[in-house]
Amino acid sequence: MGRYVIRRLLQMIPVFIGATFLIFVMVYALGDPVAALFGDKAPDPATAARIREDLGLDKPLWQQYLHYMGNIFRGDFGTAFNGQKVTELMASAFPVTMKLTFVAIVIEIIVGIALGVVSGLKRGRPLDTSLLVLTLIVISVPTFVSGYLLQLLFGLKLGWVRPTVSSDAPLNELILPGIVLALVSLAYVTRLTRTSIGENARADYVRTAVAKGLPRRRVITKHLLRNSLIPVVTFIGADIGALMGGAIVTERIFNIHGVGYQLYNGILRGNTPTVVGFVTILVLVFLVANLLVDLLYAVLDPRIRYA
Amino acid sequence: MPDKTAEKVTTATGEPIPAAAVATDAGPAPAKARSLWSDAWHDLRRQPLFIISSVLILLLLVIAIWPGLFTSASPRQADLAKHYLQKPQWGHFFSPEWLGYDGQGRSIYARVIYGARASITVGVGVTLCVTVLGTFIGMIAGYFGGWIDSILSRVTDVFLGIPFLLGALVVLNTFEKRSVWVVILALAFLGWTQIARVARGAVITIKQADYVMAAKALGASTTRILFRHILPNALAPIIVVATIALGGYIAAEATLSFLGIGLTEPTISWGGDVSAGREQLRNAPFTLIVPSVMVSVTVLSFLMFGDAVRNALDPKLR
């Protein structure tokens, strides 16, 4: 197990470097952060050159990258162009997005797995078919559409919740945004669980458990569910990273000042330190989440052993 | 079930399939061996999902190609006297005022009709680019193996490590004017990884098949083996992933346009119209709802189509 973890960690290094370098190149080489700083006005050449020098933008790209990464490992993510430390922005943004992702994942797990189990056990019945059609519809509705429709319905027409989230983002205000963020993944979790349960329900060990006279509830929770959840766990683990990066739309609709909000503003204004810093963290979250998922396999399925 | 069909199905999905899953035909066994494709077509024609989605997609394609057939109004003609407070006239089917007017007094009905072209071009264009690029990379990685595979797989991991929406935002933000082609290239640049993985997996299974060994023994060139023997047999899982992804790309384009980093004027796009409509969410929600419904219905049609194709080509999932 230990050796497996070390090997995986070593494999993560080139992927981490590659992904961060790619983002670095895309932000720097494709855009011009100094021009972005001046907005629509053309910058005075001398001033622009001065800013370039101050920010180290006159050096070759790979030197800038090495310099930047060196700083990151000392905990210095640089300063956003407005003078605010990127780490300060992160300290205010990440907790909010983590809360939002947490709400979304919890909804996904509870509702998604419950619907999937019901659907999988009733395979082919009207309930299963209607759930299947429903998930297809939910997957088709882009987040920005479902976001506005639910905001319009619950926030403005019915007035059950505040249409936008206040700045300290308490958990109860994040429920509606959490549902919006979770919706598409929720439908996928339902479908995955359904397929998995449907396949395993015919397995020999389930028949044995039933033949032993175990109560139905115990067969489902202890035998069927544990074996069927493996693909679902993979999906949810990979989804954590995707949800944190994909919260841009949800955060924009509900005016939540999280990672997506900072990134969106950073990208629009060509604010390189913010963008590269936030994406670096997101890539790390994604890679670590995937590793944890693989390790969870061994817990869920004792047949899997890592050497 | 004749041998040839069974073998085809087995290799195409990558794993052996129990005979029961293959023999789903209710009718008597066909006299002639059917290929995977004619078998799939035979299935597809009976699926309600396929029929409904094909009709919708055909309609959308006609709208995209000849929008003038559906409305005489111009999507760009703005008449401020008719701005968003002009509510939809639900009885006036297919007339310019049917779905109301937007904030600048343009007919919403005409705009959603003319918006179809951009969305569908992006969806189809990205899918084609991604399929060609991903299949090529995956095939090379899977067939040659060794260090080539290691490098290509790591590159795939790198691209997978970047969240799709974020990468697209960064790339597209560097263009001032974003036409349909710019959006297609940007999304294809970031989106090929999924197909590459599927193609690699399929090729690794297929390259051990007897008929590939036979072709090699007969002295066939690598190109011939790859394109005549391996590609046709690896195509089924690739097509399944590609058709399902198509709907996703349409949704991605709409999302990017909604964020203001997708298609720009003068291209008419549903995402952009939703974004414009959100200013008047309280007073004139229809300016936002109409293009939203169009995006959703379009994505749904392509997803249903993809689902139907998968059911037909991948009998294991039934």
Give the 3-state secondary structure of chain B. CCHHHHHHHHHHHCCCCCHHHHCCCCCCCCCCCCCHHHHHHHHHCCCHHHHHHHHHHHHHHHHHHCHHHCCCCCCCCCCHHHCCCCCCCCCCCCCCCCCCECCCCCEHHHHHHHHHHHHHHHHHHHHHHHHHHHHHHHHHHHHHCHHHHHHHHHHHHHHHHCCHHHHHHHHHHCCCCCCHHHHHHHHHHHHCHHHHHHHHHHHHHHCCCHHHHHHHHCCCCHHHHHHHHHHHHHHHHHHHHHHHHHHHHHHHHHHHHHCCCCCCCCCCCHHHHHHHHHHHCCCCCHHHHHHHHHHHHHHHHHHHHHHHHHHHHCHHHC
Interchain pair A15, B157: CB under 8 A:
yes
Q: B116-317 has which CATH code?
A: 1.10.3720.10
Report DSSP state, residue A42. Answer: P
pLDDT at position A110: 93
Which residue in B161, B274, B285 is closest to A15 by CB distance? B161
For residue B65, is pLDDT > 60? yes
**Ranges of residues in chain A whose predicted pLDDT is under 70:** 29-41, 55-56, 81-82, 169, 305-307
pLDDT band at B315 (very low <50, low <70, confident <90, very high): low
CA distance A152 to A146: 10
Interchain pair A249, B258: CB under 8 A:
yes
> Around Cβ A280, how many Cβ atoms within 10 Å?
19
Which residue in A14, A149, A249 is closest to B259 by CB distance? A249
- At position B214, the amino acid (one-letter code) is A
**Min Cα–Cα distance to chain A from B170, Å:** 6
Is residue B145 within 8 A of residue B86, CB to CB? The reply is no
The residue that leads in pLDDT, B138 or A305, is B138
The chain-wide mean pLDDT, for chain B, equals: 79
pLDDT at position A70: 80
Angle, CA A31 vertex, CA B115 and CA B245 arms, to 5°: 40
Instruction: Of B1-10, B172-181, B237-246, give the lowest mean pLDDT range.
Output: B1-10
User: What are the residue boundaries of the structural domains of chain A, listed by start?
Assistant: 2-73, 87-300
Is residue B256 within 8 A of residue B134, CB to CB? The reply is no
Q: Is B35 exposed, middle or buried (0-12, 13-18, 19+ CB in 10 A)?
A: middle
CA distance B169 to A262: 13
For residue B268, is pLDDT > 60? yes
For residue B144, is pLDDT > 60? yes
CA distance B305 to A24: 38
Report DSSP state, residue A285. Answer: H
Whether the CB of B169 is below 8 Å from some CB of chain A: the reply is yes
Instruction: Of B215-219, B245-249, B312-316, give the lowest mean pLDDT range.
Output: B312-316
For residue B127, is pLDDT > 90? yes
Interchain pair B169, A264: CB under 8 A:
yes
Is residue B317 within 8 A of residue B17, CB to CB? The reply is no
Interchain pair B274, A148: CB under 8 A:
yes
Buried b (16+ CB within 10 A) or exposed e, A15-40: bbebbbbbbbebbbeebbbbebbeee
Is residue B173 within 8 A of residue B261, CB to CB? The reply is yes
pLDDT at position A271: 76
The residue that leads in pLDDT, A68 or B133, is B133
Classified as helix, coil or strand, A13 is helix
- At position B292, the amino acid (one-letter code) is S
pLDDT band at B81 (very low <50, low <70, confident <90, very high): low
With residues binned 3-state (H G I as helix, E B as strand, rest as coil), the percentages for chain A, rounded to 5, are 80, 0, 20
Q: What is the mean pLDDT of residues B37-42?
A: 80
CA distance A237 to B162: 16
Interchain pair B281, A152: CB under 8 A:
yes
pLDDT at position B132: 95
For residue B131, is pLDDT > 90? yes
Nearest to B231 by CA among B210, B215, B207: B207
pLDDT band at B49 (very low <50, low <70, confident <90, very high): confident
CA distance A220 to A214: 10
- At position B73, the amino acid (one-letter code) is A
pLDDT above 90 covers a percentage of chain B that reads 19
A:167-206 residues touching chain B, CB 8 A cutoff = 195
For residue B80, is pLDDT > 80? no
For residue B5, is pLDDT > 50? no
CA distance A35 to A278: 22
Instruction: Of A192-196, B5-9, B62-66, B303-307, give the lowest mean pLDDT range.
Output: B5-9
- Angle, nearest 10°, between helix axes B231-258 and B180-191? 120
pLDDT at position B16: 39
Whether the CB of B258 is below 8 Å from some CB of chain A: the reply is yes
- At position B65, the amino acid (one-letter code) is I
For residue B17, is pLDDT > 60? no
- Angle, nearest 10°, between helix axes B270-277 and B108-144? 130
**Cβ contacts of A287 on chain B, cutoff 8 Å:** 161
**Cβ contacts of A268 on chain B, cutoff 8 Å:** 173, 261
CATH topology of domain A87-300: MetI-like fold (1.10.3720)
pLDDT at position A307: 56
**Min Cα–Cα distance to chain B from A181, Å:** 14
Is residue A15 within 8 A of residue B161, CB to CB? The reply is yes
Is residue B94 within 8 A of residue B88, CB to CB? The reply is no
CA distance B285 to A148: 10
**Rg from Cα positions in chain A:** 24
The residue that leads in pLDDT, B192 or B9, is B192
The residue that leads in pLDDT, A87 or B76, is A87
ipTM: 0.82
Is residue A228 within 8 A of residue A268, CB to CB? The reply is no
> pTM above the 0.90 mark?
no
Interchain pair B158, A22: CB under 8 A:
yes
User: What are the residue boundaries of the structural domains of chain B, listed by start?
Assistant: 116-317
CA distance B177 to B194: 28
For residue B278, is pLDDT > 80? no
- HSE, side-chain direction, 13 A CA sphere, residue A138: 21
